[in-house]
């Protein structure tokens, strides 16, 4: 399932770092004669592992931030977007703007890990959907649990 969202034709970053959507015609935009501020890393509202809701064509959908300042080099995307999100459905999407019209904090709990059965998350140990082979509602796992399982399987198979 591919999820699309109609985006504004322009996203304008103001000098204070705030992003604004612009739906008007191109001839209403002009270049400023004031030099642009030096490149600085934009502060984002959410961090890795945060639970969010993203606006899609199917409405607001819950997910987890899995990357910030995201750029998809496989699609030769020559710009960065604030977030890559893994939806609870398993789909990967990105948020084009760090605005409540695209992405907002979620109060829904993350799905439970199929290894430890816990749903606690942290910035360095969040839950991802590693495969869909466990059915529609399953396949979610903590990063640490998945690593421990892989090391265990590797150690058990290498020394037999």
Q: Determine if the pTM surpasses 0.75.
A: no
Class (C level, CATH) for 1-107: mainly beta
**CATH superfamily of this structure's domain 109-160:** Zinc/RING finger domain, C3HC4 (zinc finger) (3.30.40.10)
pLDDT, residue 10, reads 72
Percent of the residues in the chain that have a pLDDT greater than 70, as a whole number: 77
Q: How far apart are CA 116 and CA 79, in angstroms?
A: 38
Q: How far apart are CA 146 and CA 43, in angstroms?
A: 30
Q: CATH 3.30.40.10 in the chain: give the residue spans.
A: 109-160
8 Å CB contact between 115 and 145:
yes
pLDDT tens across 78-98, in order?
677 899 998 888 788 989 889
8 Å CB contact between 98 and 44:
yes
137 vs 101, which has greater pLDDT? 101
Q: How far apart are CA 126 and CA 29, in angstroms?
A: 41
SS3 154: helix
pLDDT, residue 74, reads 63
Q: CATH 2.30.30.140 in the chain: give the residue spans.
A: 1-107
- Residue from 63, 66, 62 nearest 47 by CA: 66
- For 85-110, letters b (16+ CB in 10 Å) and e give bbbbbbebbbbbbbbeebbeebeeeb
Residues 6+ apart with CB under 8 A from 67: 48, 83, 84
- Burial of 52: CB neighbours in 10 Å, binned 0-12, 13-18, 19+: buried
């Amino acid at each position: 399932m591919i999820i699309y969202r109609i985006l504004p034709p322009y996203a304008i970053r103001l000098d204070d770092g705030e992003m604004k959507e612009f739906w008007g015609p191109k001839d209403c935009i002009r270049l400023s004669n004031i030099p642009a501020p030096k490149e600085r890393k934009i502060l984002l509202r959410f961090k890795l592992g945060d639970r969010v809701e993203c606006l899609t064509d199917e409405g607001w959908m819950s997910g987890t931030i899995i990357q910030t300042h995201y750029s998809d080099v496989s699609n030769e995307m020559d710009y960065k977007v604030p977030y890559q999100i893994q939806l609870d459905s398993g789909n990967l999407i990105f948020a084009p703007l760090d605005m409540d019209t695209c992405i907002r904090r979620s109060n829904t709990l993350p799905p439970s890990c199929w290894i430890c059965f816990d749903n606690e998350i942290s910035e360095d140990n969040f839950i991802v959907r590693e495969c869909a082979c466990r059915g529609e509602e399953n396949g979610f796992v903590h990063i640490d649990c998945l690593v421990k399982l892989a090391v265990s399987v590797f150690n058990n198979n290498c020394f037999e």
